Amino acid sequence: MIKATTLSRYALALALGLAPLAHATQQPLPSLQQADIYGQELFTASGSTGMVLVVVRNREVYIHGFGETAPGSHVTPSATSFLRLCSLSKIFATDLLTQLSSQRIVRLQDPLQLYAPPGITVPSRPEHLITLENLATHTAGLPREVGWAPDGTPHFTFPDYNFRWQWLPTQHLRSDPGTIALYSNIGFDLLGDALARATKQPYATLFATHITQPLGMKETTFTPTPSQCARLLRGFKNEGPCTDTQPSASSAGVYSTGLDVSHWLEYLLGTWTSAGIPAQNPAAQAVYVVPSTLKRQSGLEHAGDVTGIGLGWMHTPGSGDPNSNLDLVEKTGGGAGFLTYIVMNHASNTAVFVAVTEGRRSGHYNVFRSTNNLLLALDGLPALPTPEVHAPAPRPGRRGAKALARTRAPLVKTPARRAAPPRPAARKAAKRRPRKR
């Protein structure tokens, strides 16, 4: 496991993680074209309408589309199909955080209060202030969302800057910052605001000058053009308009393409420096919080058990062998009819991105865990064991049968957008609507 203290210690931990796999990486790896087979299996099992799969391994790049761009279109998604990255937006924000920290513009331990608008008091606990690191590791004690969006609100446009900073002072933290990890979208909205205020630049400007321009990600944006929106993949349901998502730029609002994401993966792996693609600062993917030091965690384990919490990233075991040091670094996303995911194995310099759109029968298949196995298969490694589900013994009668049925619910549901406040008559149905990841 990589502990975030110094870069030299990160390099040492990474080297130790490589050692047990030396024998595996010396063997010929499966052809990257095998991703055609593995990708088709994943797509078919997911029940999705369309899928874009990107694999980068060393200096090889694979991009392929499956299914349809929209129900009934009979057009296969391509490298330039337009995608919502959803919560993968968070790892762009933490890349900016790492870059600005290395430039000494901000510090991870800076309190959020330092970057609050004038007259706004950030909630705190005695001797516990919310720091930028707390926001980036979901340990700030903040809720997942600020609440329900107004009726008709497009995806990822609520809450805006003014709303969230008026909301924040009214909150009581759910825990002392740094003691409990609770997945929080609003925490990343506030992190983006803090970075913009620290640099006196709009977040969109930071994003362009530090990420998309240097990496040649020409179609990665929060402000899509009509021609880009015409290429946006569509799922089974109408998820509303393709529109400006700057209000949630640092938490969920990024649009991109498979081609652009391939550049991002090259940057994350750091294997393309000779081709002009810079390598990400290793501190951006390091572990900052060890879960065993927390009182509890919630909302972080969609892709597997979490062994380390990073700046937006999660570390999860890459092997069912408890003695293995193989670590996968991953980030999940979802919302507006999309599920998105990035997972990396630095021991083999392999990264996989997948984006799927909702289908008629989506929601009964864990795309994230299956993508982990796709990566391992391309690395010539065994699949992860299927997680055991321990169902409680049902009570006699109908109530017991319902309880048993609930234990058979899918591990991952296709998330919907932040919904409007539930009406009394529909309150139960609204509570069942999944949220973005």
Instruction: Give CA–CA dist 64/71, Å, rounded.
Output: 18
User: Above 60 in pLDDT, residue 398?
Assistant: no
pLDDT at 418: 41
List all residues 6 or more positions away from 111 whose beta carbon is below 8 Å from its beta carbon. 122, 129, 130, 131
Q: Which residues pair with 131 in a beta bridge?
A: 111
Query: pLDDT band for position 272 (50/70/90)?
Result: confident
User: Above 70 in pLDDT, residue 226?
Assistant: yes
Using only C-alpha atoms, the chain has a radius of gyration, in whole angstroms, of 21
* CA torsion angle 309 310 311 314 (round to 10): -70
User: Above 60 in pLDDT, residue 415?
Assistant: no
pLDDT at 423: 39
Phi, psi of 340 (to 5 degrees): -135, 155
**Amino acid letter for position 381:** L
Query: pLDDT band for position 28 (50/70/90)?
Result: confident
pLDDT at 189: 98
Q: Which position has the higher pLDDT, 399 or 226? A: 226
Interval 426-430 mean pLDDT: 37
Stated as kind and residue range, the H or E segment containing 72 is none
Return the percentage of the chain with pLDDT > 70, whole number: 82
Domain parsing of the chain, residue ranges = 7-431
Q: Which position has the higher pLDDT, 264 or 421? A: 264
Interval 354-381 mean pLDDT: 92
pLDDT at 386: 86
Interval 108-119 mean pLDDT: 98
Phi, psi of 316 (to 5 degrees): -140, 150
Interval 186-215 mean pLDDT: 98
User: Above 60 in pLDDT, residue 337?
Assistant: yes
Instruction: Give CA–CA dist 57/204, Å, rounded.
Output: 30
Distance in Å from the first CA to the final CA of the chain:
24
Other beta carbons within 10 Å of 383: 14
User: Above 90 in pLDDT, residue 296?
Assistant: yes
| Strands 180-182, 296-298: pairing kind | parallel
Instruction: Give CA–CA dist 18/377, Å, rounded.
Output: 17
Which runs of consecutive H residues, i.e. helices, occur in 85-200? 89-102, 132-136, 161-167, 185-199
Interval 188-200 mean pLDDT: 98
Low-confidence winner among 207-216, 240-249, 358-367 (lowest mean pLDDT): 358-367
Low-confidence winner among 44-58, 140-154, 385-399 (lowest mean pLDDT): 385-399
User: Above 60 in pLDDT, residue 122?
Assistant: yes
Output the six-digit token pair for 347.
């021991």
Q: Could you tell me the pTM of the whole model?
A: 0.85
Interval 338-354 mean pLDDT: 97
Interval 341-368 mean pLDDT: 92
pLDDT at 378: 97
Instruction: Give CA–CA dist 183/138, Å, rounded.
Output: 5
User: Above 80 in pLDDT, residue 260?
Assistant: yes
Lookup result for tokens 């009819």: 337
pLDDT at 83: 98
Instruction: Give CA–CA dist 273/259, Å, rounded.
Output: 18
Arithmetic mean of pLDDT over the chain: 86
Q: What is the DSSP string of 227-273?
A: HHHHTB---SS--------GGGTTTT--EEEHHHHHHHHHHHHT--G
Instruction: Give CA–CA dist 349/266, Å, rounded.
Output: 9
Q: Which CATH number fits domain 7-431: 1.10.1370.40, 3.40.710.10, 3.90.1150.10, 3.40.50.620?
A: 3.40.710.10
Interval 384-405 mean pLDDT: 50
Interval 255-271 mean pLDDT: 96
How far does Cα 196 stand from its chain's mean position? 21
